Homo-oligomer: A and B are copies of this chain.
Amino acid sequence: MLRPALTLLALVSLAQAQTNPAAAAAGQWRRTHEKAIVSEFVEFLSIPNIGTDRPNIRRNAEAIGKMLQQRGVTPQIVEFPDANPVVFGEIRTPGANRTILVYAHYDGQPLDPKEWVTPPFAPVLRSRSIEKDGQVIPLESATYPLDPESRLYARSASDDKAPIMAMMTALDSIRASGTRLHSNIKFVFEGEEEGSSAHLGQILAAHKALFSADVWLICDGPVSQTRQQLVAFGARGVTTVDITVYGPRRELHSGHYGNWAPNPAMMLARLLTSMKSEDGRVLVDHFYDGIAPLSDTEKRAIAEAPAPDAELMKELWLGATDGAPKKLIELLQLLSLNIRGMASSRTGAQASNVIPSTATASIDMRLVKGIDRDTTVARLLEHIRKQGYFVIGSEPAAEVRLAHPKVARVTGGGGYNAVRTSMDLPISQEVIRVVESARGPVVKVPTMGGSVPLEMIEKAVGTHTITVPIANHDNSQHSFNENIRMQNLWDGIELMAALIAM
């Protein structure tokens, strides 16, 4: 076994592996400024950042602008009709003949505050994760340096404000240590990533020169479950679809109509069951047709990547996985179809003896290179029709419901396609070298499981994208109790310093 130690919680010492002076200086800076970093980060996380909350979104953009300004970078707030602003900043380096652009997003996933242990926009420091019974450490009485296993809990603590904080701190260190830059640097902070980057393509196209760069480094997503640094050369695409099926016009008493009135929850269960086999294979016709094959380098990277599947199952209390015996990293190179939410009438204390009137499922489908978003949605629609449904894109009128035994309202689509940058490109090889010099051995992933709007970036500004995440894998991003492990933020600061100075 030539691989480094892979146990999930092992803290791999990087002291020997770190040969990058910008990263070393950033580490030094961080160790003497932890309190100020946490204080600034907590203030930033306290600004609510749900994409539809326009006033607070603007406060976030302004806060980022201020953070840049304080580091000597003049911010530019890029506006576009109906869009949340993009915050831009630039450092021109005398004599540099290339431009590195670092990207992060400042909006967060929608949420239900009731599900959170502490309010999502009142950041809380805990000694460990909640799952490990981490206790709250009041910020005013925290002792520095912090335990590297402590965590900050807040929406976007990981996804995706941590990279923004890491970049800002890297800038502080670069300025204080007099670290020399070798490239022009651009900063882009998007405000609609969790809304499928609805306007990013248009915004980039409208300001092509502003956003042009030799490479876009996408700072989003988690590192390996082994806690090793990870570099991803692509990301799955994504599209989401909401399906509502219909029973009686109004909820009915389940005694007086049960056996006779069709139950939409049961109809939906049957429809969803038809979409996947018991072992997780999608049964929609032609779903997997057109996947672009992996190159030899990509196949090798997958084979060499750690496979912490067994440890992950233990961590996640899973007695089985879909797609076995294939490993997680292999399965992420394929399309997926996932029920992200499902609802019909009420459960728990509010449940009552009714036949529901409607049942809804929200589905996301992850796409891989070679697979088109719209084609995939069309294949799913065809599948729903094959199950006997009349498919409609809006709320069906009484006549429609009366005319068809089964009616499904399907809305959504949108999203974007997958992208995969060749690992054999010189810029790809150089990013790997720089990241390894800062963070030691790197897990190289052809396509990461999550989605970032790489396609529209590449199309709009004609560049390559490479993803360099910093968050811990167990950060609960997109869910309640999102958090960042402090050591991941510290590592991220060093990584960002190395990339900015590359």
Contact = CB atoms under 8 A, between A and B. Distances in A.
Given A110-B352, A254-B336, A269-B269, 6 more contacts: A110-B346, A131-B249, A221-B256, A249-B317, A273-B273, A347-B361
Nearest to A280: B259
12 contacts: A249-B316, A253-B479, A254-B338, A254-B478, A255-B450, A256-B448, A269-B272, A269-B273, A339-B344, A341-B347, A341-B354, A348-B360
A232 to B, nearest CB: 11
B362 A111 contact: no
B272 A276 contact: no
Interface string A257-273: 11111110110111011
Contacts of A269: 268-270, 272-273, 339, 342
A347 B331 CA distance: 26
A288 to B, nearest CB: 11
Interface in A341-360: 341-356, 359-360
A285 interface: no
Contacts of A268: 269, 342
A58 interface: no
B322 A347 contact: no
A40 interface: no
B356 A351 contact: no
A351 B341 contact: yes
Contact of A322 (B260, B280, B323, B335): B260
A9 interface: no
A319 interface: yes
Given A265-B361, A332-B259, A341 B356 contact: yes
A402 interface: yes
A260 to B, nearest CB: 5
A238 B322 CA distance: 37
Contact of A320 (B254, B256, B405): B405
A37 to B, nearest CB: 26
A496 to B, nearest CB: 21
A112 interface: yes
B254 A364 contact: yes
Contacts of A331: 259-260
B406 A251 contact: no
A421 interface: no
A311 interface: no
A33 interface: no
Q: How large is the interface on A (under 10, 10 to 19, 20 to 34, 35 or more residues)?
A: 35 or more
A187 B391 CA distance: 53
A336 B478 contact: no
Contact of A353 (B240, B261, B280): B240
Interface of A: 52, 109-112, 131, 194, 221-222, 235-236, 238, 240, 242, 246-263, 265-266, 268-270, 272-273, 276, 278, 280, 309, 313-323, 328, 331-332, 334-336, 338-356, 359-362, 364, 366, 398, 401-407, 448-451, 473-474, 476-481
Contacts of A320: 262, 405-406
Contacts of A257: 328, 449
Contacts of A349: 52, 110
Given A317-B398, A318-B262, A356 B339 contact: yes
Contacts of A317: 246, 248-249, 398, 401-402
A403 to B, nearest CB: 6
Counting from the closest, the 5 A-B pairs by CB-CB distance are: A255-B450, A320-B405, A251-B479, A258-B336, A265-B339
Contacts of A110: 346, 349-352
Nearest to A474: B250
Contact of A480 (B251, B261, B362): B251
A260 B403 CA distance: 40
Contact of A346 (B259, B341, B403): B341
Contacts of A250: 131, 316, 474, 476, 479, 481
